[in-house]
Amino acid sequence: MAAAFAVWKSPLSQPLIDAWNLVGPVPIARVIDWTDLLALLALPLALVYSRSKYRVLPTAIIRTAMLGLAAAAVIATSKAPPRAVLQNDAAAVASFYFYQQARYATRLGSWTRTRRLAAAGFPVSSSWFFGTDDINSSIRCGVGDSPSRMFVAAETGTAWKGDHTEISRRRLALCRRFAPEGSDEAIAAFEREVLVHLPDVRRVDPGRSP
């Protein structure tokens, strides 16, 4: 188990991750962070404690507590950034600086929305676990970007609202050298570059129905 964890946190696991992302239904990612391996130091300490005659808690209680801590650690794992963010140099991307939510209404179905965006150069990858859609682009910051092509990726959520679907834009990534300073301007860039390809989409103020 310890060896598998060490391999997962090392570059050795990248070919396996790449192969899975080519054919797997749900893309996966991980951050290479050797400091995570420090957690393995707990294993010999746990072994020593388990064999000690000075244990003050029954094994069943310790096992239950450790299971709870492990579950909390897994749940706390953050979602991987969209693929377009990962393919860019992190220093070139103003990644998810704009957290102001914007909501839009559309009567287009999920398949139609995805097909239209993909045809416009914005492939969508969905995460059923997190309930989000990642809208990606092929922009390489510093190479193919410009004041009119700064959009890198966005994380959105969708919810069915009776006769329409509500799209909530949660986070946004733009090329840093052209990224606007304000959230409103960033949202406008997202609308101008991406949502323009969905003909019936319109902004919906919170609390109002389309």
Helices of type H across 9-164 = 14-23, 42-50, 59-75, 83-86, 110-119
Distance CA 77, CA 122 (A): 27
Most confident of 149-153, 160-164, 177-181: 149-153
Give me the phi and psi of 139, to 5 degrees please: -65, 130
Cβ 116 vs Cβ 104: under 8 Å = no
By CB atoms closer than 10 A (0-12, 13-18, 19+), residue 50 is exposed
152/20: higher pLDDT:
152
Residue 206 pLDDT class (50, 70, 90 cuts): low
What pLDDT is stored for residue 171 in this prediction?
84
Cβ 122 vs Cβ 134: under 8 Å = no
Which residues in the chain belong to E strands, given as ranges?
A: 93-95, 102-106, 124-127, 132-136, 151-160, 165-175, 202-203
Q: Rg of the chain's alpha carbons, rounded to an integer? A: 22
Cβ 168 vs Cβ 129: under 8 Å = no
What pLDDT is stored for residue 136 in this prediction?
94
Per-residue CA distances from 59 to 17, 50, 65, 125 (Å): 37, 8, 10, 44
Domains delineated in the chain: 2-75 (no CATH), 83-203 (3.30.530)
Distance CA 125, CA 118 (A): 10
Tell which residue, 175, 174, 170, has the closest CA to residue 157: 170
Whether residue 185 is predicted with pLDDT greater than 90 in this model: the reply is no
What pLDDT is stored for residue 148 in this prediction?
92
What pLDDT is stored for residue 1 in this prediction?
54
